[in-house]
């Protein structure tokens, strides 16, 4: 099995605020010595209660936050050793779909512009071909391309999330991080988006880190599941072992409160 992403002893400490000028600010460890890998074509679910460090971990992988310690490898290469050219390529190969479809799109820009901008950033195509690619990806996420001339406020939550997915996939990434991709949506819309993600993953075969605190969503979508607790990865198991009893004590507790 080809390994796409590997984390080795990754930690993230945040500086706390000091209560007075005489007191040293306390450090807070949001991610503590986490090591795991994700294989090609796999959907790896990251679950844990609020504040357990899931989003921070995703942001460390994509470079939105810097690590305090550890290494991240993409296809066996330490990403901190990438040349400028490799770094540019890596920025295209890894994409993130953010938690909230309501804030992910620029309210002042038409939908078509938001999607085409991503192609512009990565210097892909010309004006006409970018328009065509945007139309095609909108078809793929089951959105009528006529919506390209609308603004985000004209779209429903589900439509916006489809546009966010289209924006991430238009550069054909190999690795996609989806952070609570459906939690802001109504249950019926959630299941439609989950089905779409599954369909797109099967078609495009991207590797995925799916972050959620919803165990039902994780169980439905993922091949393997990592459980985070207070910044640590306490357990990793195959989705088929979801309802088996031999889980880590914390996982069992999480299951009893969240399922």
Ligand X SMILES: Nc1ncnc2c1ncn2[C@@H]1O[C@H](COP(=O)(O)OP(=O)(O)OP(=O)(O)O)[C@@H](O)[C@H]1O
Pattern of binders to ligand X over 167-206, x per CB under 6 A?
----------------------------------------
Among 4, 42, 48, 133, binds ligand X (CB under 6 A): 48
DSSP state, residue 155: S
207 contacts 155 by C-beta, under 8 angstroms: no
32 binds ligand X (CB under 6 A): no
Residue 158: phi, psi to the nearest 5?
-65, -40
User: In whole angstroms, how close is the CB of 103 to ligand X at the nearest point?
Assistant: 14
37, 97, 110, 197, 209 from 91: Cα distances, Å: 19, 14, 24, 21, 16
d(CA 137, CA 130): 11
User: In whole angstroms, how close is the CB of 180 to ligand X at the nearest point?
Assistant: 7
25 binds ligand X (CB under 6 A): no
Q: Which is nearer to ligand X, 50 or 245 (CB)?
A: 50
Give the residue carrying structure tokens 């819309």. Answer: 189
* Binding piece for ligand X, criterion CB under 6 A, among 1-9, 54-62, 68-76, 112-120: 54-62
* Binding piece for ligand X, criterion CB under 6 A, among 48-56, 121-129, 130-138, 166-174: 48-56
Lookup: tokens for 102:
């309501």
d(CA 54, CA 69): 17
51 binds ligand X (CB under 6 A): yes
Residues 203-232 binding ligand X (CB under 6 A) are 213
Residue 115: in which H helix or E strand, if any? helix 111-121
Residues 113-172 binding ligand X (CB under 6 A) are none
* Binding piece for ligand X, criterion CB under 6 A, among 44-52, 102-110, 149-157, 158-166: 44-52
By CB under 6 A, the count of residues binding ligand X is 12
User: In whole angstroms, how close is the CB of 51 to ligand X at the nearest point?
Assistant: 4
d(CA 231, CA 13): 10
101 binds ligand X (CB under 6 A): no
11 binds ligand X (CB under 6 A): no
d(CA 178, CA 95): 9
The three-state secondary structure class of 28 is: strand
Q: Which is nearer to ligand X, 59 or 130 (CB)?
A: 59
Give the residue carrying structure tokens 């209660």. Answer: 49
User: In whole angstroms, how close is the CB of 89 to ligand X at the nearest point?
Assistant: 27
Q: Which is nearer to ligand X, 200 or 221 (CB)?
A: 221
Q: Which is nearer to ligand X, 14 or 220 (CB)?
A: 14
189, 194, 207, 214, 240 from 39: Cα distances, Å: 29, 21, 7, 22, 17
Which residues bind to ligand X, rule: CB under 6 A?
A: 14, 28, 30, 48, 50-56, 213
């Amino acid at each position: 099995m080809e390994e796409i992403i590997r984390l080795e002893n990754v930690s993230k400490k945040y500086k706390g605020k000091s209560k007075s000028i005489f007191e040293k600010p306390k450090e807070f460890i949001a991610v503590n010595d986490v090591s795991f890998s994700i294989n090609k074509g796999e959907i790896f679910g990251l679950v844990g209660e609020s504040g357990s460090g899931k989003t921070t971990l995703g942001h460390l992988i994509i470079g939105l936050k810097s690590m305090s310690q550890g290494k991240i490898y993409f296809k066996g290469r330490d990403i901190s050793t990438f040349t400028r050219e490799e770094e540019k390529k890596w920025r295209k190969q890894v994409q993130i779909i953010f938690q909230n479809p309501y804030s992910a799109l620029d309210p002042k820009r038409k939908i078509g512009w938001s999607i085409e901008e991503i192609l512009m950033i990565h210097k892909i195509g010309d004006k006409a071909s970018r328009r065509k690619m945007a139309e095609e990806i909108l078809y793929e996420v089951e959105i009528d391309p006529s919506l390209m001339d609308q603004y985000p406020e004209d779209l429903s939550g589900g439509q916006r999330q489809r546009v966010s997915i289209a924006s991430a996939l238009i550069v054909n990434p190999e690795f996609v991080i989806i952070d609570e991709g459906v939690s802001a949506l109504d249950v019926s819309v959630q299941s439609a988006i989950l089905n779409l993600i599954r369909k797109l993953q099967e078609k495009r075969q991207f590797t995925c880190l799916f972050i959620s605190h919803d165990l039902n969503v994780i169980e439905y979508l993922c091949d393997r599941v990592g459980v985070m607790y207070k910044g640590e990865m306490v357990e990793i198991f195959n989705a088929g072992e979801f309802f088996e009893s031999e889980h880590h004590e914390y996982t069992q507790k999480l299951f009893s409160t969240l399922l």
